[in-house]
Each structure stands twice: as C-alpha cells, then as structure tokens.
A and B are shown apart, each in its own frame.
Chain A
C-alpha cells in the first residue's frame, strides 16, 4: 500500500472519484505510514485515526450511491495545530492550551471538510507559530525526513515533514514571516503563502494578525492549486479577507506562461547566501530562460541584507518584522491568562494578578515569553513612536519597493532560506541566528504579497534546496503556473525523502 502514499493529492482525488481507489484504502495507507514513520518524524500532535476512517467510509458510501463529492473527496489532509477544529484539541504546541478543545472550527477547516478532505490530524509547530525550526514546540521535536538529525524548519515544521514523509497527502500551514515557505523549502515540498486576505484567518489562532495567512503545503504545484482553490475566498467573519473571486487555479496550470519576466532582487544574492543555494537558483533561472523567460535585476533596498564585520547578518525587514509581529503577539496572547480557559496554575496564589503571572509563567515557553516582552516593550508609552510607528513606516517602504520592482517583472525569484536544513539544537542558543532563517521570506508578509517555495534540487549532502517565487497581490495563479513550468522541466516535484522510499 505504500504506493498510495506516493500519489499526489490530485492523483489521489481523481483515483477515488473514478473508483480506482477507495477513500478507506487511502486512509488506511496513510494511517499505516503514520504508524511506521511517525515515531521517527514526530510530525503530529494528534492523529484522528477513527475519525479519518469514519470520514473515508462516508465518502466511499456517497460515491457508491452516485452522489457528487467534493474536489478533495478522500484526500488525507493534516492541519497545523493552530487551526481550530471543533473536534480533537487545538494546542498551538503550547502548554497553556495543552487541553484546549475549540468550540468551533476555523473557516479553512470547514472548507476542507466541505470539499471532502479527510482530516488526518493536527501537526506540530513552534509554540504559537513563533520559530523557524519547530524546536520551540512544547509537545515534541519534529525531525526532517531527509535527515532526522536536522530540523524540518518552522513554524509549520510538522505539516512540512508530514507531507515530505508521506504522512499526509497535503497539509495546511500558517505563515507570519516564512512559516510555510521555509519549512517547505527545508523539507523539499511546495509551500504557498497566499496574499494577505486571500484565505480567511477566522479560526487561525492569531500570532501577528496583520501578517498571518493560512496556506497549503503540498507535493507539487498542482496539489497547491487544488488546495488553494478549496480554502481561498472572502469570509464575512474576517474583515481583512479580500472580496475577490477565486479563480480555478488548476484550469490554466498546465499552460506555460509566455514571455515570463523574472525579477532577481540583487539584495538577496549578496554574500550572505550559501553558494550551493546560489548555484541551484542560477540553474533554475537558466531553466526558465530555456522556457522563453527573461530575467532582469531588480532592487528591494529596504529588504537589504547587511553583513557585519564579524559576518553577522542584519536586515531592516527582520527588524521591522520583530517589532510589528511581537507587538501584535503581545496583545493577541494576552487572553491566555488562566481565567477563562487554558492552563491555570495549581499553586497557591495571592490575588488575580498573581494567578495571571503564575499561569502564564508556567504555560508559555521561552521564545513566546521573549516575544511577548519585546512586543509589550515596543508598545509601551514613550517607546511607541520610536519603535512601532517607525516600523510601520519601514513596512510601507518595503511594500513600495516591491510595487516598484513589479513594474519591470511578473515574478521575483529568490532563495527561500539562507541555508539548507540545519542540525537540531544548532541555533536554539542564539535567537537572532534563528530569526535570520526568515531573512528572504519575511518582507513578503510585511508587504502582504503571495509567495511560493518550490524545490530547486538537492545539495551535495542530499538536502532539499528551496526556491521562492514572489508576485504582486492576488497573483497566486501566475506563481503556480510559473512553479509548474519549472517542476515539470526539472523533475523536482513530488520528491520523497530517502527514508520514506526505503
């Protein structure tokens, strides 16, 4: 049955719809793969085995009755554990929500269920999506299927590892500063952060509200198109969701773009970039040129990456992000106080403030506390103008740079992350090093733009290299077509880690 888990979501969906595979067989195959590989990967916080089988049986029954089923009927999908479901737990990989049962389901969960997806389980993440390696999880350490001594990236590390290891046909991640694209890049799968507002945030546990977006993590660009179509669209419960129609991303996917103009932001190809990654991207640009594309150099001055005398990196975008995101986070996470739900200290308390303090001290991990403190600081009276207000101005400048760049190109190509998957524990001691893992992804969130990371090949040591395609607002269709052009030519789609193949 291991062949089943090698199928893409599109292949699985059409096989089930055509009666060549049953949803039950598919669910069984994935549950068996989870049983076999999950102890080594640790992608899931919770697996809904019984529920998934029930759903699969219902779908088979509906098909046997000749009823029309949704476009994802029988496709096993995993959800990042910060997407609320009214079944199972929604923990955000935090002690403070360890036993939290959401009374409602996120818009995205509802849409996936309505499309017939079988929800396999909830995947691990950096606590409250704060991190780039999934090591900030309070529940477990997720490993990269390509090398289990390495991180899967983060914060959607569980979702990326699950898709990469064949433990889910597709998964949902959330991306605040790169949390879909970076782990997708490090795990050799496709990860798309949609335009801000393309997908409803209703039911996504908020981290940085003005940056957060839910998006798919999949085996290839076609799966990404299939899943995006299912989850995108306006939602009256999210005032920031865009009232724009959702195109059929699959319909034109296989049609190559003519005269594609690629922009190469010169600031992203400086000395900070690993040489293997640079040559992989150069090669990819060559592939595009061979398909009729042209490449131009563009500039994103406010997303510039500076290298200090000691080799340390710095970036306006990263600085701006860690003010905006943490400010919002400090407010969004204020509700976890032990009063209404979530972890409450068992210890004796003097008064309500003491109860709040102890509950939060026990419930949050170090990185979450660090960001809450940072965010609280930048919003404090007397500091607001110097930090938050200035960051908002930088944010505007970053966006203006992109608007300017898109006057001369249709999409940007740049690395997804400065390195391939790093070792577990390698960056945990130095938060700044960890923050810099998002150096190429973070500006898009500040600008609200869509970006997709696709595999551009493997490094000499056999680790996936991610490449990012970035487009203007609501250009997901173009980005996916461009991604499809490349993956079909290069054969880098539906890569499976060696451990899975063996």
Chain B
C-alpha cells in the first residue's frame, strides 16, 4: 500500500523537541555547547549530586515564550515546573524537570507552506520547557559510558494537534518549525547536532462500506532527520493499512492500546518497542525546588517586542514589494539576519534586485563553502548597499564586483575604496573606451567581417570582440558603454 488512497486518511500529530540556543544550561551555569569532550561541561547540579538545587535560566524561559508567541500561542502568565520520574542512566536525578499541566505556551497555530504552493494551518496544543538528558555511549566493549554534557540543556517540546494528514505535510510542518526557531534565534536547530528531534503520533481513519474505522495510535520515537520523519510516517501509513486490511474489526483504536515504535534507518521500517500500557507511570508532581513562574504583562510585552516579522510574512513582502521570484524570496527568508541585510541595503537606497544578486551570488557561494548562513559571512549592510549602488551606476562591472565582494567581507572595508585600490573601478572615459574599441576592430578583421555580414556567426563574433575590448581594459571598461560603442561602429542593430 502506498500513501494517497482517498479512503485512507492519515491522522498525524507531531511532538518536536528543540534545544534552545542559550549560553548556559536550563538549571545550572554550565555551558550549553555541543562537541566538547565527554563530561567536561558538568557541575554538581547537572550531575544530580546529593543536595544540589536547580536555578531557572531566565533566558531559556524567554526564548520558549518567544517561540510560543510566534506560534500564536497564549504564553506567559502563571506556569510551574513538575518532576517527571523515570529511571535511565543518562538522567542523573532519575527525574526530569519538565512542565506537566501548566506549560508556558498553549493553544496556537502555524501556517505551513506546502510544495504545491498551498498553505496548511496546523494547530499547536502546547509548548513546554524541560531539561534534556545526557547520552549513553555504546562504544565500549564491556560497559556503557554516559556523557552528561547535554544533561540539563534547555529543551522546548512543541506538541501539535493531529492536524497533519500525510508524510509530506509532516515534513513540511517540521521544516517550517525549524525555520521559525532559527529565525527567532531560539535554536540553531542543527539536525546533526541533535538540536531538533521528532516524535510523530500516527493512526488512520479508513472509510469503508459507509463506516469509518480508526486504527490504533503509534508513536514513533526519536527521529533525527526530515527524511526519517517522512519515511517513518509513510511507512506507518502503509503498515497500518495492511494490518487493518488483514483484520478490519480487530485492528482498531478501541481494542488495541497505543504502541511505541522506533525507526530502523537501515531497514527503513518502524520497529515495535512496547505497548503504552507497559509504559512508565511518570508520577508527575510539582517541583518543590523551583517557585512557579509568573510572567506578567510587562515582561511578556518586552518578549513580544523581540518577535518581529515572521518568515512567511517577510517572504510575502519580498515578492510583493521587491518583486522577487518565490525561489529567491524563500532563500532569503531561511533565517532572520540575511533578510535584515537586504532590508538594510534597500533602506540605504540600494536597488533590491542588485542587492539580492550579490547576496544569492557570491554571498550564498561563500556561505555554502563555510557551511554557515549568508548573514554570517561578515558582510555589513553599508558594504552591501554601496556595492549594489556602484553596480547600478555602472561604476563597477559584475566580475569586478565579485572580487570586491570577496575582499570586503575579509577586510570589512568600504567597497569603493577597495575597487579604487585594486583598480577595479569601471573606466567610463569615452575617449579611452573608444581607443580600446578601435584597437580591437583593427586587430580582428575576420570577426568584424562576421559581425557585419550577419548570419549565424554574428552573435559569437560580437561577443568575441566585446571580450577583446574587456581584455585590453583588464576588465575595467564599463561594459554597457563598450557594447553601445561597438554596436555603433559595426553598424548597429545587430544583437
């Protein structure tokens, strides 16, 4: 069975765990940093030593609320901390500090852009803060190691309503969420570093013979990539359809309990873990070591003021105001700061499209080489604006602009000064340009003949002559002027 049977409606809700990008952990002052040697970012508090007490990281709380506000949730007000008890070696206290019945964010929604251009609204049930667990390291022969660097890192768990109806929608929802948390500076949301993890709840509503059958709910634990998420949802839709076909009355939500399954990346299949009935009783109760959190109006407003324009709103604006293509507008709204550069340059008087060409040309290429966002390559708004204006005024040509771009992000200098120093400013002196043009015509009689004769060789020959002139000027001649003059001297109208 493949996804897409009109009688089979997948019902999917998604839990997303997002590690918040704070300097320190949720309840102690240890650095929140990935990739350090095992157990180097730890202290008595996050090691769960006897007698220690948690102290809430206000920054993490603010980031959580910021995400909630961007998800149109009611956020702030009164919320509290709870202990969730379960025994696992990567959880030093054998309980996790989390939020049970009073999460910081409730009842919101997100607009998810789909591949076909449609927008799907997915409701958010809640988002709550908690501390991450450490990691069990299974690379020893006779024992398991535990790395507690991650223990206590702030996590935001975002729980959707079951509004997602296909594997593609699940992927699109997850991508929209990744973009949003990055946008808000709430998380780096890097998959490889485990900053964002997915747990879909999946079942099917199957219409058959005038009746609706509901299959039992499966929760797939701990998916670490969009690919795994989409594949796991698609696999479950297929598996549950088959199971239902084999036993339409028995394989039902009413008769079978919820099941947890894991994802096998090699077999590309979900694997049974346990029935939810055998699951832990987490014995939640209010965390007595932490006071409830009261986020009043003033505090909430100061957080709200940091939310600003959201990615989809901005993308829409770029298409409308700057006349950008969807693809370019989308590329520029993957994070906040890149678009801020564009908006800054336009505000400083630069042409939007020339600015975009610079950002998505050399800017994207360098960012790609470095594996970072465009905004992180070291480009200043003033530099971008100035260079875009020089291009518009033909003070520099595209080739030279690329060189200037590379130099200016390295040295943080003014692009005009760089161009002058490097001799990259376009030569616009008509007399000088005419000299180069005349010389090129004199040196290349056969090309000149090809252009004048017209026909299929004409275009190539004209380009060759353009190139000759540019070569003589060492790339500095203003291209438009060269073209105009060549056209005039060779009879005009070609091209």
Q: How far is the CA of A196 from the CA of B283 in the complex (A)?
A: 25
Q: How far is the CA of A339 from the CA of B151 in the complex (A)?
A: 15
Q: How far is the CA of A140 from the CA of B146 in the complex (A)?
A: 35
Task: Determine if A352 is an interface residue (Cβ-Cβ < 8 Å).
Answer: yes
Q: Are B95's CB and A331's CB within 8 A? A: yes
Task: Determine if A446 is an interface residue (Cβ-Cβ < 8 Å).
Answer: no
Task: Determine if A386 is an interface residue (Cβ-Cβ < 8 Å).
Answer: no
Task: Determine if B289 is an interface residue (Cβ-Cβ < 8 Å).
Answer: yes
Q: How far is the CA of A381 from the CA of B285 in the complex (A)?
A: 11
Task: Determine if A84 is an interface residue (Cβ-Cβ < 8 Å).
Answer: yes
Q: How far is the CA of A389 from the CA of B284 in the complex (A)?
A: 12
Question: Which of B47, B83, B281 is in CB contact (< 8 Å) with A340?
Answer: B47
**Residue of B with least CB distance to A357:** B87
Q: Are B50's CB and A205's CB within 8 A? A: yes
Q: How far is the CA of A102 from the CA of B52 in the complex (A)?
A: 11
Task: Determine if B360 is an interface residue (Cβ-Cβ < 8 Å).
Answer: no
Known: A239-B291, A335-B93. A384 touches B51 (CB 8 A): no
Contact count A vs B, C-beta below 8 Å: 98
Which residues on the A side are within 8 Å of B146 (C-beta)? 339-340
Task: Determine if A315 is an interface residue (Cβ-Cβ < 8 Å).
Answer: no
Q: Are A334's CB and B94's CB within 8 A? A: yes
Secondary structure at the A interface, as helix, strand, loop or mixed, is loop
Known: A335-B92, A352-B89. A388 touches B285 (CB 8 A): yes
The number of chain B residues touching the other chain, given as a range, is 20 to 34
The number of chain A residues touching the other chain, given as a range, is 35 or more
- Chain B 249-273 against A: per-residue CB contact (8 Å), 1 yes, 0 no? 0000000000000000000000000
Q: Are B285's CB and A92's CB within 8 A? A: no
Which residues on the A side are within 8 Å of B94 (C-beta)? 334-335, 337
Question: Which of B51, B89, B281, B284 is in CB contact (< 8 Å) with A205?
Answer: B51
Give chain B nearest CB distance to A161 CB in angstroms.
23
Task: Determine if A237 is an interface residue (Cβ-Cβ < 8 Å).
Answer: yes
Known: A334-B94, A380-B283. A206 touches B51 (CB 8 A): yes
**Residue of A with least CB distance to B56:** A239
Which residues on the A side are within 8 Å of B492 (C-beta)? none
In chain A, positions 237-280 with a C-beta closer than 8 Å to chain B are 237-240
In chain A, positions 302-344 with a C-beta closer than 8 Å to chain B are 327-328, 330-331, 334-335, 337, 339-341
Q: Are A84's CB and B87's CB within 8 A? A: no
Task: Determine if A48 is an interface residue (Cβ-Cβ < 8 Å).
Answer: no
Q: Are B285's CB and A201's CB within 8 A? A: no
Give chain B nearest CB distance to A243 CB in angstroms.
11
Known: A334-B93, A340-B92. A84 touches B51 (CB 8 A): yes
**Residue of A with least CB distance to B28:** A237
Question: Which of A104, A203, A240 is in CB contact (< 8 Å) with B291?
Answer: A240
Which residues on the B side are within 8 Å of A435 (C-beta)? none
Give chain A nearest CB distance to B135 CB in angstroms.
14
Which residues on the A side are within 8 Å of B289 (C-beta)? 206, 209, 239-240
**Chain B interface residues toward A at CB < 8 A:** 44, 47-56, 83, 85, 87, 89, 92-95, 146, 281, 283-285, 288-291
Task: Please list 23 pairs of residues, one from A and one from B, whose beta carbons are closer than 8 Å in the complex, sorted by A's number.
Answer: A83-B51, A84-B49, A84-B50, A92-B50, A100-B50, A102-B50, A102-B51, A103-B49, A203-B52, A205-B51, A236-B55, A239-B53, A239-B54, A239-B290, A330-B85, A334-B85, A335-B93, A337-B87, A339-B89, A340-B48, A379-B284, A379-B285, A384-B284
| A331-B283, A337-B94 known, 14 other contacts, Cβ within 8 Å | A84-B50, A90-B50, A92-B50, A103-B44, A201-B51, A202-B52, A205-B50, A208-B288, A240-B288, A334-B93, A339-B146, A340-B92, A379-B283, A388-B285
